[in-house]
């Protein structure tokens, strides 16, 4: 029961944040939120020994038995990594935001959104049921939309939130279809049960479509090429949001999904090619575009895209261990997956620290433009030290943790030479090396152009002054900076207790996960990876020195092309077409709206009647129709037809009343006095309201419609009536189950009520009746408010409203 509570705690806490915000000082609300992620993080830390011993925690809350949908949670090594990142980084981000955000901000709303996102992410990584996972998956999109658009008064914030929402939700819908296909093949919604059936799935017809659709969801969420365009625009969010969502958590959801489904799809070469090459393209394109940025946050956005591509490519290479290829040393490729998980943790540390540092620079100096910065190292020594550690770690330099995972990445790119797959052994090492060189260049830009050197323009700190912020704002990035260095010196502690159980989750059929974890060391001798690193440093340094000379390459096609332009043109086209299409049918004429509705009804039901249902009728069990019933039905028909031909509004209203009161008499004949009384009351009220309403309307000038319109009206009326009659007769003659009325006939025994109608309303559907009463009450309250409103001028009118 503990794991579901871990998911629910942030949701419950988010409900109380707005309430607390109204009673406490605005700056104190962050301190009240801080314990929630901290307690969750500490609890997960206590579970590490259990997972290290090979255990995993399952808990199921039974829900929809008929559909086999249950709230099943699963805590294993893989979900533990993400859980620690979500809660640990969540704690540091909340701490950072307390000092970063102003008291004038809507802090209650901010922390409510943040907790909603935290709970949604925990739901994604702890859910074993794919449909429940999908619900939380889309909740992350919704909550991230709210966080990105937190400064909603800014046009760019709204546009960035919309772009992130459209792309990630579209991919999520495709992923849902993939999950449904998996259920069609396996008969289960459980991920662990799907993994157990993995050996039989490749022969299924839906295997490849399901795989590609699930990858679509993963690629869109983790900003893989060409879906990466949402991430730079999402940088319009406050820096704490960027540090949390776009470095450590949300963008890692797609990484998690790919790692989780490696046991299911890893035996497919298409999976290997898709994940590996999409990751490598993303790695290169992100690093290439990061170099050209002048905004530090935009540079970090593209570097995040690049690093996500690196992790994705490592998981793709790691899936090669699942391929049934002769003469392949599987440990070389399991080491790639290990490197991916290790770098996933390292990336969260150095990228989270860098986002916070860039936020500090912007907070203190009012700008993130590299051209307005420079020479800050002497004025902001602590800030510079953390930025140096984060940047050099991302560049893959010792003594920082990024160096270790970068070396493992280079070794994995060289290991693919053993695979007998076309093009793999050549392109993967080349792309990996080139992207690493570009990564080195943009890391040097962060360090040297921000904290050293000359300013291209008037430096921002001339007027405002440059200095380190208050200690509280430096606490969170300092913790991450310490981790960057500590993980370099003690990487195997992390590997044994955190990464090793996750390797067992990725390769459940490979036996003891201890054999899948290589020993991490800073020095492996003069290996090919070492010489690649030397080449990266030397060539990267040359490129950085001559950056102004070759940076003009970005103005030359195809390097000047942007996928974002395609998105903008496509969105504009869709909006324009939607606008014109909407104007075609939203004409303001009620007659046309009813025409559209009824034609759709006729088309859908007519198709169903002709293709699906059996046109069979059974009148053997029907009751005998009496003379009184014939007379009442005849009166109803005459009244309904007469309304069409009368020219007086008053007579039309009265005929409509005749129709309604005749229905009430029919209820009396059929021995339903309660229904008859209700019908009489309703009909009386509506008739009076009709009369009152039409008294204030202009004179009725009944226009004779054109002949085509009249014929269409006749067709709609006759066809709708026939379809309703046929549907009723088919249902009456093709009963598949015992009528529910048989159950209600025993109402006196079940409820003690002698009136079956009252028993149904008061007992069998009590909640339904109660909600109907609530709806009527709200409607009546709204009418009362509208009646009480009085037109006033100026400020009095605004106050009254």
pLDDT one-digit tens code per residue, 244-301: 998 888 999 999 999 999 999 999 999 999 999 999 999 999 999 999 999 999 999 9
What's the pLDDT tens digit per position in 645-669?
A: 887 878 888 898 999 999 999 988 8
Q: So what's the pLDDT on residue 801?
A: 40
pLDDT at res. 794? 43
Q: Report helix, strand or coil for 396.
A: coil
Identify the structural domains of the chain with CATH numbers, from first to last: 267-555 (no CATH), 590-758 (1.20.120)
Judged by average pLDDT, the poorest of 21-25, 101-105, 107-111, 254-258 is: 21-25
- 379 vs 148, residue with greater confidence: 148
Check pLDDT > 90 for residue 96. Answer: yes
How is residue 534 written in tokens? 């030397």
Determine the angle formed by the axes of helices 471-489 and 401-415, rounding to 10 degrees: 50
Quote the pLDDT of residue 615. 66
Round the CA-based radius of gyration of the chain to a whole number and report it: 33
Q: What integer pLDDT is reported at residue 11 of this predicted model?
A: 94
Written as six digits, the tokens of 315 are 């998981």
Least confident of 293-297, 327-331, 580-584: 327-331
| Omega before residue 569 within 30° of 0, cis | no
How far, in whole angstroms, is CA 551 from its chain's centroid?
A: 37
Lowest mean pLDDT among 224-233, 409-418, 759-768: 759-768
Question: What pLDDT score does 464 carry?
Answer: 58
pLDDT of residue 560: 64
- Contact (CB, 8 A) for 60 and 72: yes
What is the pLDDT, as a whole number, of residue 22?
77
Query: If pLDDT is split at 50, 70 and 90, which confidence band does 102 have?
Result: confident
- Determine what percent of the chain falls in helix, strand and coil, rounding each to the nearest 5: 75, 0, 20
- Which residues sit opposite 694 in a β-bridge? none
pLDDT value of position 797: 46
Tokens 């360090």 sit on residue: 447
- In the predicted model, is pLDDT for residue 93 greater than 50? yes
Per-residue pLDDT reduced to its tens digit, 768-785: 888 888 998 998 888 888
| 616 has a pLDDT exceeding 80 | no
Reported as a single tens digit per residue, the pLDDT across 339-366 is 999 999 999 999 999 999 999 999 888 8
pLDDT of residue 799 exceeding 60, the answer is no
Length of the chain counted residue by residue: 801
Output b/e per residue, 700-713; b: 16+ Cβ within 10 A: eeeeeeeeeeeeeb
Residue 211's CB is within 10 A of a number of other CB atoms, namely: 22
User: How far apart, in whole angstroms, are the C-alpha atoms of residue 220 and residue 244?
Assistant: 18
Distance CA 477, CA 468 (A): 13
**Per-residue model confidence (pLDDT) at position 278:** 95
**Secondary structure letter of residue 622 according to DSSP:** P
Least confident of 82-86, 91-95, 684-688, 745-749: 745-749
CA dist 356 and 392 (Å) reads 16
Q: Is 69 helix (H, G, I), strand (E, B) or coil?
A: strand
Q: How far apart are CA 801 and CA 797, in angstroms?
A: 6
Give the rounded percent of residues in the chain with a pLDDT score beyond 90.
51
CB 163 within 8 A of CB 157: no
Report whether pLDDT(463) > 60.
no
Confidence band of 559 (pLDDT split at 50, 70, 90): low
CA-to-CA distance for 733 and 503, rounded, in angstroms?
60
Q: Distance (Å, rounded) from C-alpha 125 to C-alpha 40?
A: 14
Q: Strand, coil or helix: what is 369?
A: strand
Place of tokens 């993980």: 487
617 against 437, higher pLDDT: 437
> According to the model, what pLDDT value does residue 792 have?
42
Q: Please give the C-alpha separations between residue 370 and each of 60, 386, 395, 644, 667, in angstroms, as whole numbers.
A: 52, 18, 19, 76, 81
Mean model confidence pLDDT for the chain: 87
């Amino acid at each position: 029961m503990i794991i579901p509570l871990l998911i629910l705690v942030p949701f419950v806490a988010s409900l109380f944040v707005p309430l607390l915000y109204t009673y406490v000082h605005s700056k104190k609300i962050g301190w009240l939120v801080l314990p929630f992620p901290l307690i969750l993080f500490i609890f997960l830390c206590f579970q590490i020994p259990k997972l290290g011993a090979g255990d995993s925690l399952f808990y199921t809350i039974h829900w929809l038995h008929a559909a086999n949908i249950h709230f099943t949670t699963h805590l294993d090594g893989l979900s533990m990594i993400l859980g620690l990142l979500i809660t640990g980084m969540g704690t540091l981000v909340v701490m950072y935001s307390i000092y970063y955000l102003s008291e004038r901000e809507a802090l209650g709303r901010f922390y409510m959104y943040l907790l909603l996102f935290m709970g949604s992410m925990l739901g994604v990584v702890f859910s074993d049921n794919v449909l429940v996972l999908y619900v939380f998956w889309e909740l992350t999109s919704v909550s991230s939309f709210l966080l990105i658009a937190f400064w909603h008064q800014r046009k760019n914030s709204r546009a960035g939130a919309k772009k992130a929402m459209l792309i990630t939700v579209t991919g999520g819908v495709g992923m849902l279809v993939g999950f449904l296909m998996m259920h069609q093949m396996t008969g289960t919604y459980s991920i662990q049960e799907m993994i157990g059936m993995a050996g039989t799935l490749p022969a299924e017809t839906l295997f490849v479509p399901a795989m590609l659709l699930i990858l679509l969801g993963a690629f869109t969420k983790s900003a893989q090429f060409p879906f990466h365009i949402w991430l730079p625009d999402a940088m319009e969010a406050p820096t704490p949001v960027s540090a949390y969502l776009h470095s450590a958590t949300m963008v890692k959801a797609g990484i998690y999904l790919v790692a989780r489904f490696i046991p299911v799809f890893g035996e497919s070469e298409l999976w290997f090619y898709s994940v590996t090459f999409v990751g490598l393209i993303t790695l290169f394109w992100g690093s290439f575009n990061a170099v050209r940025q002048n905004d530090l946050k935009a540079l970090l956005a593209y570097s995040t895209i690049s690093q996500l591509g690196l992790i994705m490519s490592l998981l793709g290479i790691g899936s090669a261990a699942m391929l049934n290829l002769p003469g392949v040393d599987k440990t070389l490729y399991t080491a790639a997956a290990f490197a991916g998980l290790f770098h996933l943790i390292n990336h969260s540390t150095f990228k989270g620290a860098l986002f916070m540092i860039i936020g500090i620079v912007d907070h203190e100096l009012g700008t993130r433009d590299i051209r307005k910065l420079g020479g800050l190292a002497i004025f902001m020594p602590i800030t510079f030290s953390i930025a140096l550690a984060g940047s050099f770690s991302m560049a893959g330099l010792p003594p920082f943790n990024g160096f270790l995972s970068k070396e493992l990445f280079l070794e994995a790119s060289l290991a693919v030479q053993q695979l007998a797959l076309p093009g793999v052994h050549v392109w993967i090492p080349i792309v990996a090396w080139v992207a690493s060189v570009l990564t080195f260049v943009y890391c040097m830009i962060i360090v040297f152009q921000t904290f050293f050197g000359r300013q291209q323009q008037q430096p921002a700190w001339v007027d405002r002054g440059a200095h380190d912020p208050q200690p509280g704002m430096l606490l969170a990035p300092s913790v991450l900076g310490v981790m960057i260095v500590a993980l370099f010196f003690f990487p195997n502690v992390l590997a044994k207790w955190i990464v090793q159980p996750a390797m067992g989750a990725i390769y459940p059929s490979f036996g003891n996960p201890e054999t899948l974890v290589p020993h991490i060391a800073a020095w492996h001798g003069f290996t090919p990876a070492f010489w690649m690193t030397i080449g990266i440093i030397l060539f990267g340094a040359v490129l950085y020195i001559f950056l102004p000379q070759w940076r003009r390459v970005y103005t030359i096609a195809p390097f000047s092309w942007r996928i974002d332009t395609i998105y903008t043109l496509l969105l504009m086209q869709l909006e324009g077409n939607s606008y014109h299409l909407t104007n075609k049918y939203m004409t303001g004429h009620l007659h046309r709206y009813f025409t559209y509705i009824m034609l759709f009804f006729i088309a859908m039901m007519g198709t169903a009647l002709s293709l699906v249902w059996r046109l069979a009728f059974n009148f053997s069990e029907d009751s005998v129709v009496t003379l009184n019933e014939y007379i009442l039905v005849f009166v109803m028909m005459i009244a309904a037809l007469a309304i069409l031909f009368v020219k007086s509004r008053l007579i039309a209203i009265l005929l409509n009343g005749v129709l309604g009161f005749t229905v009430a008499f029919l209820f009396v004949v059929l021995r339903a006095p309660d229904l008859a009384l209700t019908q009489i009351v309703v009909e009386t009220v509506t008739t009076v309201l009709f009369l009152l309403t039409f008294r204030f309307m202009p004179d009725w000038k009944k226009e004779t419609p054109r002949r085509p319109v009249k014929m269409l009206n006749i067709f709609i009326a006759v066809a709708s009536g026939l379809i309703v009659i046929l549907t009723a007769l088919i249902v009456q003659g093709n009963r598949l189950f015992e009528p529910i009325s048989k159950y209600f006939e025993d109402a006196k025994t079940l409820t003690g009520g002698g009136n079956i109608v009252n028993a149904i309303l008061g007992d069998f559907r009590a909640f339904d009746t109660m909600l109907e009463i609530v709806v009527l009450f709200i409607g009546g309250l709204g009418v009362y408010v509208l009646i009480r409103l009085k037109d006033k001028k100026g400020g009095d009118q605004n106050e009254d409203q």
